Amino acid sequence: MRVGCLGPQGTFTEEAARRYFVEEDVEWSLHPSILDTLEALAAKQVDRVVVPIENSIEGSVTMTLDSLALNEELFVEAEIIMPIRQNLLTVVGTNREDIREVWSHPQALAQCRHYIHNMGAAVKNFDSTAAAAEKLAESGRTDVAAIGTLLAAENNGLEVLQAGIQDVHDNFTRFIVVRRIGQTVRSTERTILQLQFESDQPGALASVLNVFAGLQLNLSHIQSRPTRKKLGTYQFFLEVEAGWQDERMQKAISIVQTYGHQVRVLGTMNRHYVM
Ligand SMILES: O=C(O)C(=O)C[C@]1(C(=O)O)C=C[C@@H](O)C=C1
d(CA 76, CA 192): 8
CA 27 to chain centre: 22
The Cα–Cα gap between 272 and 275 comes to 10
Average pLDDT, the chain: 96
Residues 179, 187: Cα–Cα separation, whole Å: 14
- Report the separation in Å between the CA atom of 199 and the middle of ligand 1, taken as the mean of its atom positions: 36
Mean pLDDT of 125-142: 98
Residue 128 or 203, more confident: 128
Distance 206 CA to ligand 1 centre (A): 33
168-191 pLDDT tens trace: 999 999 999 999 998 788 888 999
Among 10-24, 129-143, 186-200, the least confident range: 186-200
pLDDT, residue 173, reads: 98
Q: What is the mean pLDDT of residues 53-66?
A: 95
Question: Is domain 2-82+171-180 annotated with CATH 3.40.190.10?
Answer: yes
Ligand 1: distance of its center to the CA of 247 in Å?
A: 35
Q: What percent of the chain has pLDDT over 70?
A: 100
**Ligand 1 centroid, distance to 107 Cα (angstroms):** 6
**Predicted local distance difference test score (pLDDT) of residue 184:** 82
Dmax over CA atoms of the chain, in Å, equals 65
**Mean of the pLDDT values across residues 139-149?**
98
Lowest mean pLDDT among 78-92, 112-126, 169-183, 219-233: 219-233
Give the mean model confidence (pLDDT) for residues 67-81: 96
Q: What is the DSSP letter of 142?
A: S
pLDDT band at 79, cuts 50/70/90?
very high
Q: Which helix (H) or strand (E) holds 214?
A: helix 204-214
User: Mean pLDDT, to the nearest integer, of 222-232?
Assistant: 91
Q: What pLDDT is attached to residue 98? A: 97
Mutate to test the pocket of ligand 1, among 28, 107, 111 (most ligand atoms within 8 A of CB): 107
pLDDT reading at 131 higher than 80? yes
Q: What's the pLDDT at 201?
A: 81
Are the beta carbons of 221 and 237 closer than 8 angstroms?
yes
Ligand 1 atom with minimal separation from the 152 CA: 3
* Closest CA to ligand 1's atom 12: 12
Provide the percentage of residues in the chain whose pLDDT is more than 90: 91
- Conformational region of residue 23, where left means phi above 0, alpha means psi within -120 to 50, and beta covers everything else: alpha
Residue 68 pLDDT > 80, yes or no?
yes
pLDDT of residue 138: 98
Domain ranges of the chain: 2-82+171-180, 87-163, 190-273
The pocket around ligand 1, CB under 6 angstroms, is made up of 6, 11-13, 52, 55, 61, 84, 105, 107-108, 128-130, 173
Q: Closest by alpha carbon to 255, among 223, 207, 192, 219?
A: 207
Is 41 within 8 Å of 48 (Cβ atoms)? yes
Q: Do domains 2-82+171-180 and 87-163 have the same CATH topology?
A: yes
**Hey, what CATH class is 190-273 in?**
alpha beta
- The Cα 10–Cα 152 span in angstroms is 5
- The pLDDT of residue 63 is 93
CA of 34 to the centre of ligand 1 (A): 9
Output the pLDDT for position 232.
Answer: 85
pLDDT (0 to 100) of residue 275: 86
> What is the best residue among 5, 9, 11 to mutate for testing ligand 1's pocket, by most ligand atoms within 8 Å of CB?
11
Fold of 87-163: D-Maltodextrin-Binding Protein; domain 2 (3.40.190)
Ligand 1 centroid–CA 251 distance in Å is 36
pLDDT tens-place string over residues 246-270: 999 999 999 999 999 999 999 999 9
Over residues 120-138, mean pLDDT: 98
Instruction: Indicate whether 218 pLDDT > 80.
Output: yes
